[in-house]
Amino acid sequence: LQLDEIYEDSEYVHLVTELCTGGELFDKIVEKSSTGRGCFSEDEAARILYQLLESVLYLHKNDVVHRDIKPENIMFETSDEDSNIKLIDFGLARKHKQSDAPMSTIVGTPYYLAPCVLNKSYDRSVDLWSVGVIAYILLCGYPPFNGANNKEVYASVQKGLFYFPSAEWGHVSHAAKDFVIR
């Protein structure tokens, strides 16, 4: 997301960014998965994931780790069907060089956390884990790791077991499943 201006008054720092009018990826997932016809097609998911990976590559080349990549932090520029996406909300992001000691603070949103975050020893690869979780959600409409509360979600993430039930995944290619697994 492009930062255009910064204003500071006696109480706040105001960040002025470009306007994204297409809404959150989260809302599109909810909308598409509520139809009963699955979620995004593989082509649609691939287009979104390609742009997301380009964003992550840019961040990592600049030694920035986002640490909270999730559908709520991905906006569409416009409401057009083929709109580009923008990664937003860098409130948990931090500078981290590959040569730095591992990070240890547990931050992020439970469904998208990598197990190493919960183990308090992680690096920039946590952003790629989150992209994999998003890939899973884009293709079926629900997260691979779930639970009734954060503790149960954390336990599910720690186990790292997920499945491709044929009802939602029967039409998905082996290549797409392989992408999620990797």
Name the residues annotated as catalytic: 68
CB neighbours of residue 55 within 10 Å: 19
State how far the alpha carbon of 179 is from the alpha carbons of 34, 45, 105, in Å. 24, 11, 28
The amino acid occupying position 94 is R
Segment (H or E) for 80: none
CB neighbours of residue 99 within 10 Å: 6
List all residues 6 or more positions away from 128 whose beta carbon is below 8 Å from its beta carbon: 56
